[in-house]
Amino acid sequence: MNHSDAAEKFNKDFDRTTWHDETLWWVRQKRDRAAFAIPEWEALRETASQIKHNVLSNLDTYLVEFEKNAQKNGITVHWAADAHEHNEIVLSILKSQGVTQLVKSKSMLTEECHLNPYLEENGVEVVDTDLGERIVQLAGEVPSHIVLPCIHWKKEEIGVLFHEHLGTPEGCADPILLTHAARENLREKFLTRRVAITGVNFAVAETGEFVVCTNEGNADMGVHLADVHIACMGIEKIIPQRQHLGVFLRLLARSATGQPITTYSSHFVRPRKGQQMHIVLVDNGRSVQLGREQFRNSLKCIRCGACMNTCPVYRRSGGHSYHNAVAGPIGSILAPNLDMTQNADLPFASTLCGSCSNVCPVKINIHEQLYEWRQVLTKSGHSPTAKTLSMKAMSAVLSHPAVYRLSGKIGRFTLANAPFVVNNSFNPWFKQREMPEPPKESFGEWYKKNRSEK
């Protein structure tokens, strides 16, 4: 189902759509208050953008430096060219340990690689320990937001879900009690699972360490109780030096949820005695994106979700309408790089208003890249046939003034005397809007008449 069809389905529930829209805008407002509370906000954004620019220009050097230092620290480093190779590496580590159960904290990379279903197909039980991800996992869904995975769920619906799976009292919709029930259920998983998987927010080339940011502490709980820690990381998450963390940590939480900083910013430098620590560095199309000059800045993304919270299209269409692990504006410029045919609809799911670029903490020109992708996709033959033909027809009309004036007269006559020709279900514009009342004359005719009268 393409974005417009999925969005139409989402919008059939008017109350949910309105609530989803207002809740995300409330998060956007929290972001604004947190950002504007510090006078150096724009300087931080510019600094972070320049650091990332340096990283992308020297990515190979920093990755090799990180590998060398991580190995010195006792971390086993793996390289994966694509999602399948990443999944195979993780499975091979599990098999070497004789493990068929594990806990996993939030990792958008593993969602991108479809790790959960891959492991489950190979007899491995995966328990997501982030509360939002646990909710959508129990529901048989994928996250709809990279920071707020179950933002599309209401507490009453979560109460029904937990009653079915966790045995909470029927009709209970108290967030405190539901959270407590999830904590009790997960505690046994933490205590008995020998392997924990985490994502990576930042990896420091200088020291070979990596940082995982959470608000619930679930990553720490899983890792510190496990015998094996597997961290999964996109190769763009590298930063040059530890001192640069101060810039990104101040930006990340403020942009994501309006907090000064995440509750837990956990540094993993080396495995503890008797523990194994693995990190899987994943390309999965990132090198290709790096080679696309007009799109390489998209790799600066720190996965804060600010562009989603502000986007009027995302807020009123829901994350699942983007049919990708990363939704919203940033997902719409990352996904076509992975598969142009499958994701050709996403760059068009935007008003190009530029709000996403305005709030991006690393100053990615998201709306400009959305426009660029439209050009690339259209020139590559990935736009729908009907749209291509209609644009060619419009081009012909707009290129010939006489044809343009005649078309205007025909359009005004049709709207005035036969409105059913355009006011019907075959016109997508009419589905959500009333067609305007036709003017009596065109602007050109009005201007010519009034100028002659003067």
Clarify whether residues 100 and 228 are in a common domain. yes
CATH number, domain containing residue 318: 1.10.1060.10
Do both 42 and 112 map to the same domain? yes
Among residues 380, 411, 441, which one ends one of the domains? 380
Stretches where the chain sits below pLDDT 50 are none
User: Among 364, 380, 396, which residue terminates a domain?
Assistant: 380
Same domain flag for 103 and 208: yes
Choose the final residue of a domain: 284, 307, 331: 284
**344 and 201, same structural domain?**
no
pLDDT at 131: 95
d(CA 303, CA 361): 10
Give residues with Cβ within 8 angstroms of 188, minimum separation 6: none
What's the rounded Cα separation, in Å, for the pair 192 and 107? 21
Residues spanned by the domain of 193: 38-284
> 130: Cβ–Cβ under 8 A, 6 or more apart, which residues?
105, 106, 149, 214, 216, 218
User: Does one domain contain both 117 and 261?
Assistant: yes
φ/ψ of residue 178, rounded to 5? -65, -40
DSSP for 145-214, please give it. Answer: SSS-TTTT--HHHHHHHHHHHT-PPTT---HHHHHHHHHHHHHHHHHH-SEEEE--SEEETTTTEEEEEE
Q: Select from 106, 21, 44 the least CA-distant residue to 261.
A: 44
Q: Which one-letter DSSP state was computed for residue 232?
A: E
Residue 15 lies in a domain: no
The model scores a pTM over 0.75: yes
Answer whether residue 169 is part of any domain: yes
User: Contact 48/360 with Cβ under 8 angstroms?
Assistant: no
* Residue 5 counted as domain residue: no
Residue 310 lies in a domain: yes
Say if 120 falls within a structural domain: yes
Number of domains within the chain: 3
pLDDT of residue 454: 59
pLDDT at 427: 80
Q: Report d(CA 367, CA 429) in Å as an integer.
A: 23
In angstroms, rounded to a whole number, what is the distance separating the alpha carbons of residues 287 and 291? 6
Burial 285-301 (b: 16+ CB within 10 A, else e): bbeebbebeebbbbbbb
- pLDDT reported for residue 452: 66
> Are 179 and 275 in the same domain?
yes
Q: Which of 334, 417, 435, 343 lies closest to 380 in space, CA to CA?
A: 343
Tokens of 305: 């979700």
Q: Are residues 94 and 158 in the same domain?
A: yes
Spatial CA neighbour of 216 closest among 305, 105, 102, 101: 105
Pairing of strands 202-204, 209-214: antiparallel
CB 396 within 8 A of CB 403: yes
Task: Say whether both 201 and 264 belong to one domain.
Answer: yes
Is 42 within the bounds of a domain? yes
Tell me if 216 is assigned to some domain: yes
User: For residue 27, is it within any domain?
Assistant: no
pLDDT of the residue at 453: 62
**Residue of 282, 185, 285 lying closest to 238 (CA atoms):** 282
Q: State the greatest distance between any 2 C-alpha atoms of the chain, in Å, as a whole number.
A: 93
Same domain, 89 and 220: yes
SS3 268: strand
How does pLDDT run across 91-116, given as a tens digit for each residue? 999 999 999 999 999 999 999 999 99
Which among 30, 43, 97, 78 has a CA at the least distance from the CA of 258? 30
Distance CA 316, CA 55 (A): 35
Q: How far is CA 177 from the centre of its chain?
A: 29
Q: Are residues 135 and 166 in the same domain?
A: yes
CATH number of the domain bearing residue 257: 3.40.50.10420
Q: Are 411 and 266 within one domain?
A: no
Q: What is the pLDDT of residue 135?
A: 97
Query: Do 228 and 277 share a domain, yes or no?
Result: yes
